A and B are shown apart, each in its own frame.
Chain A
Amino acid sequence: MTGVKGVLGAVVAAPLGWLARLLEAPLRLWQRLAGQTGMVAFFLLPNMAIFTVFVLVPLVINIAYSMTTGAALFLPERTFVGAAQFERLLRCTDYTDLMTCQEDQFWIALRNTGTFVVLQVSLLIVAATITALILNRALRALSFWRAVFFFPVLLSPVVVGLIWRWILDRNGVLNAALVGMGMDPVNWLLERNYAFSAAIGVTIWAHLGFFALILLAGLQAIPRDLYEAAEMDGTKPARVFWRITLPLLMPNMLVVIVLALIRAVQVFDEAYVLTGGGPGTATLFLTQYIYEVGFASLLKNPGLAAAASILMGGVLIVLTLLQLALGKRNERRGKLK
């Protein structure tokens, strides 16, 4: 150990110490000149600069793009059209028939994303809750099972998509197994409902561990005494769950729901690698629509993509504000206890 420490000391600590000594005098001088507020600004500057260049400026440019039209890449070369792109996105002759909408692809993506969010989030929450409840029991090799469920979270979304494509492909592992058992192969990714279900199932598989872990932490924070008190009272397991576990899990549950909603609205990578939006437009989601309109289609329309991304951003902002509000409420409740 001392050897490792010695090497670390020589390689890392010594040069850092040398650097610190070197910087001390100029920093002290600067502090005297800048004052306390000035120093705060000075240390925040690098972070703010990165945030500005990579987040704030693109955001502003994006808003500007959403009010222009044409295929030109540079903003000064683009034509200002005001809110026309938003109008184009939202205009339909008959809102009960998406085919009458000017940008029917946007509406299809919106409908698909809406359906996806409702189904995926509800199933995900139920599955994560059940997983957490099982993991919360005094299970043998608990850490092992926890790792098993958490492992997919560590995978890159593209890897997740590829793994499942190999499994669900026409000539994939699942069909090989079905044929091996004497059954007919199924076109999992080429049939609308199967493909949509696959997108839901795969994203649940990929994110389950993360949400189950948050819920598990909540379950483990519920005192055992409460369950024993319920046991003394002869409470049936279902009533224990609905009347004790679930209400006490609610703060964590709400956070999980909002986080899951945010992720589901943004669904893209796993689903795109898995189905590419198909068959047809069966699994075309909003992010993919934005990506394709802005970058991938033959008739690139960055202005339209920017407008769609702003609409989607609006939904995400509402959800994020909800999450922050919940976080604050939990904090207050925590203090009350």
Chain B
Amino acid sequence: MGRIQLHDIRKSFGAVDVLKGIDLTIDEGELVVFVGPSGCGKSTLLRMIAGLDKPTAGRVEIDGADVTARSAADRGLAMVFQSYALYPHMTVRANMAFGLQNTRMPKAEIDSRIAEAARMLEIEPLLDRRPGQLSGGQRQRVAIGRAIVRRPTAFLLDEPLSNLDAELRVSMRAELSALHDRLGATMIHVTHDQVEAMTMADRIVVLRAGKVEQVDTPLNLFNRPANLFVAGFIGAPGMNLWAGQARDGSVHLDNGALLPLPVGLHVPDGAVTLGIRPQHLRPQTGGPLRAKVRLIEALGPESVVHADLGAEHGLLAVLPGQPDLARGAVLDLGYDPQSVHVFGADGQRLG
């Protein structure tokens, strides 16, 4: 239970098209992350699935049944809100019981479900407190607990970690993944944080301007981005993307650099964009890239080097360890031609 299918979902607010035809299938038990920049429509899409907003056109199916016209309550889904949306005047216990009482569930059953969820989330000592007396992380757990007790067919999580501090976010990320493994339920998680998406998802849906750019596993997105947007969006620091002309198995950049393409990849002559991840660049005497160091971010185990590649292009390289480099130094870099990504003039991946 918990297979969700979206067929050509569209949503317009007046003249503004927020979602422009989304087709997507989320399998039972999957943890899917919707990721994209602000305003890409990811939260709107989640609200369509939840039933809090109705799509302008298109169909939502849950386990094969068309639920587009059904109310939010009749879809069997539970949502965790960005603000947690806990009822401030009720205790944690009352917050968790509230939804179950609507279904006229016997009190004993409600109590046992709350006890089970509280044990799972380690919030038993908090049950008689009010949300105002809890820390951000504790409220987060209660919000998740409130969803768990309903035993929904799927969990919808709308940026649930964005109100937590960095440290807590990392640990809650791991806890949410562990919880997903334990419950085995379908989860849809919305975030603008691509690290969150990469670390948690079975599959990631990358959205931009109301359209799906790519749906794939985190590593496939990283290794084989379908287009320039995904290439630039996934991965931190972002991929180096340089415009140039493809000719005879190499790419000529404006500054005269000649960059070899992967062996066996046929790229027609013409304008292309070449992408290399900062992690794939290595210092190499006489290498094809000659860059002037602008800034070094020494992180300890690795260093992020910001450099200029001629007047037009910037360059980012993540070098292992703590290389002996100074601002203004000239650095020769090379790469394994198999690790480059080539995008055509239309922004789509070649090869």
Q: Is A94 an interface residue (CB 8 A)?
A: no
Are the C-beta atoms of A232 and B102 separated by less than 8 Å? no
Q: Is B331 an interface residue (CB 8 A)?
A: no
Q: Is B345 an interface residue (CB 8 A)?
A: no
Chain B residues with CB under 8 Å of A239's CB are 102
Q: Mark B192-224, 1 if CB is under 8 A from A, else 0.
A: 000000000000000000000000000000000
CB of B136, distance to nearest CB on chain A (Å): 13
Instruction: Count residues of B near A (Cβ-Cβ below 8 Å).
Output: 24
Complex interface residues of chain B between 164 and 216 (CB less than 8 A to chain A): none
Residue of A nearest to B130 (CB): A336
Known: A225-B83, A337-B88. A231 touches B73 (CB 8 A): yes
Stretch among A130-138, A240-248, A279-287 lining the B interface: A240-248
Per the bound structure, the CA–CA distance linking A235 and B150 in Å amounts to 13
Are the C-beta atoms of A235 and B89 separated by less than 8 Å? no
CB of A207, distance to nearest CB on chain B (Å): 28
Known: A228-B52, A229-B81, A243-B98. A234 touches B73 (CB 8 A): yes
Are the C-beta atoms of B89 and A228 separated by less than 8 Å? no
Chain B residues with CB under 8 Å of A223's CB are 83, 85
The one of B89, B99, B132 that contacts A234, using a Cβ cutoff of 8 Å: B99
Chain B residues with CB under 8 Å of A243's CB are 87, 98
CB of A244, distance to nearest CB on chain B (Å): 6
Interface size class of A (residues with CB under 8 A): 10 to 19
Q: Mark A248-269, 1 if CB is under 8 A from B, else 0.
A: 1000000000000000000000
Total cross-chain contacts (CB, 8 A): 59
Q: Is B18 an interface residue (CB 8 A)?
A: no
Chain B residues with CB under 8 Å of A235's CB are 73, 98-99, 102
Q: Is B251 an interface residue (CB 8 A)?
A: no
Q: Mark B73-85, 1 if CB is under 8 A from A, else 0.
A: 1100111011101
Chain A residues with CB under 8 Å of B146's CB are 229
Are the C-beta atoms of B132 and A225 separated by less than 8 Å? no
Q: Is B103 an interface residue (CB 8 A)?
A: yes
Chain A residues with CB under 8 Å of B72's CB are 228, 231-232, 234
Per the bound structure, the CA–CA distance linking A247 and B78 in Å amounts to 24
Are the C-beta atoms of B85 and A234 separated by less than 8 Å? no
CB of B336, distance to nearest CB on chain A (Å): 49
Q: Which 3 A-B pairs have the closest CB atoms?
A: A234-B73, A233-B99, A225-B85
The interface of chain A, by Cβ under 8 A from chain B, is 223, 225-226, 228-236, 239, 243-244, 247-248, 336-337
- List 16 contacting pairs A-B, 8 Å CB cutoff, sorted by A: A225-B81, A225-B82, A225-B83, A226-B87, A228-B72, A228-B85, A232-B51, A232-B73, A232-B78, A232-B79, A234-B102, A235-B98, A235-B99, A243-B87, A248-B89, A337-B132
Further contacts, 12 of them, CB under 8 A, given A231-B73, A243-B87? A226-B87, A228-B85, A229-B79, A231-B52, A231-B71, A232-B79, A233-B73, A233-B150, A235-B73, A243-B98, A248-B88, A337-B132
